[in-house]
Amino acid sequence: MKILEILRLTEKGHSQREIAASVGCARSTVGEVQRRCRETSLCYDKASAMTDDQLQKLLYPIYTRKKYLKPEPDYEYIYDELQKHPKLNLRFLWEEYKSKTPEGLEYSQFCER
């Protein structure tokens, strides 16, 4: 797991840039993991005795809770509308979806899905 490798390299004195290149992630990610490890007093020896799930829950507790699921749009309806009206765009269909479900997906997620 990347967290263990980041901790190991950090304790060996490598720079964030070197760690990021070795692990294959952004330097900011390395800094974030290091910060979270400092806040929880997590060292490599302690982390290596933990499972991936335990590490995840310790460092990222907010992400381990059940996520709030937003209502999905009616994809079949969207597809049919796009087929019927070739000049229709996703922005219009998203606005229609948001007017019916204000707590729904934002535009970027609507387009991606």
Q: What is the pLDDT of residues 54-112, one digit of tens each?
A: 998 898 887 545 556 788 899 999 999 999 998 899 999 999 999 999 999 999 989 88
Predicted confidence at residue 63, as pLDDT, reads: 57
Number of structural domains the chain divides into: 2
Q: Are residues 17 and 48 in the same domain?
A: yes
* Any domain includes 104: yes
Q: Which domain holds residue 101?
A: 75-112
- Is 100 contained in some domain? yes
Quick one: pLDDT at residue 62? 72
Other Cβ atoms within 10 Å of 105 Cβ, number: 18
Distance between CA atoms of residues 113 and 110, nearest Å: 5
pLDDT value at residue 71: 87
Task: Please tell me the predicted confidence (pLDDT) of residue 17.
Answer: 96
Both 19 and 44 in a single domain?
Answer: yes
Q: What is the pTM of this model?
A: 0.55
